Chain A
């Protein structure tokens, strides 16, 4: 009959199936070896080329340069620094400036971002449109361009010190920056600061006690009003008891410049304004998405239980929304910190501009300088993502 020799019932040759080529383990090993060889070859080539190039160009290597004298000025320093300080100290100054603008920027961006995010969900049509316009304009224009705009087109076109623009409360703005009153701590101001610390500690203790009592007995304690009273009242009381020790030094025009007070350099103002406004637009979208992610059933269920709308918002909506909001919010904070490196474009002395800019130009040690700079940002990023993983594990919904 028309039956083939190998027949329908005969099993295929076992050798074809058990060949090493179709063993997943052997295949995995083979491809991993290929990858390792490729990466190893690449790294070896890069390293040997770098060594050869450095030797030919006679560039010193190693981190010894950090102890040499820097010899350049920095326009804003948080710790003592002069041109006779070392490169290492210049590095610290730059790092602190980066952290300063990042921390202040994060605080400002969070406040603005949450307000705009809630505005986008407002029942009021006009408020909604204003928030939408803000988000759509700011998000779609490069940050660098916004920084240039604030710095070159706005702050650098301001009048000189003699025609400073007063902003109220002793604050004024001119081409040399923003001048704000400086607090002068007289004798006895330690009492005020101590009172402030006591108030903060007291509030924390009070909140914990009130929560425990409510858990145990169901009785409520008006934590918020008492906290506000403590926070404002105690330092104020100490202020008057100690005979008003803290005074403010208001910047005044003397000669060609404003004297007294604190001068905030225009580079810082422009960078802060640009970073905060830009990041706030992204935070607003995150907040909006987070609130919308809480299903409507939650609100309805809370209302069905007889919980008041305000309480529903605080106890039902916001805790659930925060779970959605916080991971992307942290990555926006990280973005803001990394974006603060754009300072180099407008001359704010941050880490990149001081270290990867001036120090690199003076020493020429590109490999060391750039890797150190990258390492700082990498450490900040990894710490943040470690925190985020911990937080996610902490608040994750436990299902079954």
Chain B
């Protein structure tokens, strides 16, 4: 019966207020900027910092900037911003340095080849990775050397003798088991042929380098700007990865002497600043070489940079090797793989994948460190910018800031690009769940 019901509502309940918005722009702002008193104070503080810093920077870079002009007159005045006209006038020097103007097409071709080699390599889906790698690591360096320097090198007799002696030693080591009667000679023919491949490639490179293509010789002293930055960075990267891997394997080796040498080598190069290494390679290296051998200034700096980067790379790779579970090593041993097979097929592919962020960090560090070569008198991008600033034709209070901001932007673009690409690759290779 209706009378047994104690309470019956006769009118609708009052409407509840709407919930605090959590979606949309307002909700987002409330959540992220004004969620409490402390947060609000922080937001106001941040707004103040932005207000103090951002408008003057934009004003300097764009609003008050000088875009056109032919000399310093355009960039002098009380409220003048960045002097972009100066950068525009000096732009070719920033790219090519003092490379002869009529020969700059050669540098352009090298840049283009580099892009043709690197872009498909960087896109994971692009085909022909192996051919691409051969192009980048063998063909491109030789072609670039010929194009940039002019080719027609003297490959001395002593180099050919060294090549022959090296080949003889390699073959002797390959045939050693057969010579000692451990295996028949026929088992060793294939490895012996494979061991010849690097020597054959080297000999081919020698032959190509000594051909006269009729190009004008351009000394490395004339190279400069972004060209030198890229040459040093790429050579350093190309040298540091293999040397670093070898050193890391040496440091983890069972042979005490190999381990000792690796540790000493790594700790020495890591323990001293790059500047002292560059000083050493430019001042001390000539002392250590025989009288008749003289290295080019750029080559000496390159050796220093490569040694320095290799030591850092070795420590990064060692981290990856140590992160491998012991079972991987034992599994490879149980399959009967030799030391190099074990490393090449089982350990390194996994270990290197682990340390991609570290490897890219080393590359970024190396790219930034190339700027130090200006201290030993080579003109990389930063060196060219610094050189251009002493020109009285353009000297004004704003040109130093403009030049350095431009150089900084170029470096930033390369380094930031590399770090983003590393994150992309890391995500792609990440097979952990998901």
Contact = CB atoms under 8 A, between A and B. Distances in A.
Do A and B assemble together? yes
Contacts of A301: none
Most buried by A among B255, B375, B404, B419: B404
Mostly, the A contact residues are helix
A367 B279 CA distance: 11
B180 A152 contact: no
Nearest to B293: A49
Interface in B399-419: 400-401, 403-405, 407-408, 411-412, 415-416, 419
A377 interface: yes
B43 interface: yes
Contact of A21 (B50, B180, B273, B411): B180
Given A49-B287, A352-B275, A377-B276, A152 B267 contact: no
A149 B288 contact: no
B123 interface: no
B419 A342 contact: no
A19 B412 contact: no
B214 interface: no
B284 A370 contact: yes
Given A15-B181, A123-B39, A142-B382, A370 B273 contact: no
Nearest to A53: B287
Contacts of B375: 344-345
Contacts of A125: 32-33
Interface in B240-295: 254-258, 261, 267-268, 270-276, 279-280, 283-284, 286-291
A19 B382 contact: no
B382 A144 contact: yes
Contacts of B177: 19, 21-22
Interface string A356-375: 10001000001100100110
B309 interface: no
Contacts of B256: 32
A231 B343 CA distance: 59
Most buried by B among A20, A124, A149: A124
A58 to B, nearest CB: 13
Mostly, the B contact residues are helix
Given A19-B177, A49-B288, A356-B276, A149 B32 contact: no
Interface stretch (B63-71, B92-100, B191-199, B366-374): B366-374
A124 B39 contact: yes
Given A142-B411, A143-B368, A124 B43 contact: yes
A378 B264 CA distance: 11
B386 interface: yes
Contacts of A184: none
A157 B76 CA distance: 13
Given A130-B46, A377-B276, A144 B404 contact: no
B380 to A, nearest CB: 10
A218 B135 CA distance: 72
Contacts of B405: 149
Contacts of A56: 291
Interface string A374-389: 1001100110010000
A275 B371 CA distance: 16
A339 B273 contact: yes
A16 B182 contact: yes
Contacts of A356: 275-276, 279
A32 B276 contact: no
Interface string A113-153: 00000000011111100100000110111111110110011
Nearest to A122: B42
Contacts of B268: 378
B325 to A, nearest CB: 16
A130 B43 CA distance: 11
Given A50-B288, A136-B416, A341-B276, A145 B47 contact: no
Contacts of A28: 254-255
B165 interface: no
Contacts of A341: 273, 275-276
A123 B35 CA distance: 9
B25 interface: no
Given A123-B35, A152-B400, A157-B400, A344 B275 contact: yes
Interface string A55-74: 01000000000000000000
A156 interface: yes
B231 interface: no
Contact of B412 (A35, A140, A153): A140
Contacts of B314: none
A36 interface: yes
A2 B416 CA distance: 69
Contacts of B257: 32, 35-36
B360 interface: no
A32 B404 contact: no
B271 A377 contact: yes
A373 B284 CA distance: 13
B43 A126 contact: yes
Contacts of B382: 142, 144-145, 148
Contacts of A385: 267
A52 interface: yes
B397 interface: yes
Contacts of B267: 381-382, 385
Contacts of A377: 271-273, 276
B258 A31 contact: yes
Contacts of A53: 286-287, 291
A205 B41 CA distance: 38
A78 B408 CA distance: 34
B49 interface: yes
Given A148-B382, A338-B273, A124 B283 contact: no
Contacts of B284: 366-367, 370
B183 A16 contact: yes
Interface string A314-341: 0000000000000000000000001101
Interface in A9-28: 15-16, 19-22, 28
B313 interface: no
Interface in B179-212: 180-183
Contacts of B374: 144, 345
A141 B408 contact: yes
- Closest 3 pairs between A and B when the two form their complex, measured CB to CB: A381-B271, A19-B182, A140-B415
22 contacts: A19-B177, A19-B182, A21-B177, A32-B255, A35-B257, A49-B291, A122-B42, A124-B42, A126-B33, A140-B368, A140-B411, A141-B368, A142-B369, A144-B372, A148-B386, A152-B400, A157-B400, A366-B283, A366-B284, A377-B271, A377-B276, A381-B271
Given A49-B287, A141-B368, 12 more contacts: A32-B255, A45-B290, A122-B42, A124-B42, A124-B43, A130-B49, A140-B364, A149-B400, A342-B372, A345-B374, A360-B279, A377-B276
Interface of A: 15-16, 19-22, 28, 31-32, 35-36, 39, 45-46, 49-50, 52-54, 56, 122-127, 130, 136-137, 139-146, 148-149, 152-154, 156-157, 338-339, 341-342, 344-345, 352, 356, 360, 366-367, 370, 373-374, 377-378, 381-382, 385
Interface of B: 32-33, 35, 39, 42-43, 46-47, 49-50, 176-177, 180-183, 254-258, 261, 267-268, 270-276, 279-280, 283-284, 286-291, 364, 368-369, 371-372, 374-375, 382, 386, 389, 397, 400-401, 403-405, 407-408, 411-412, 415-416, 419
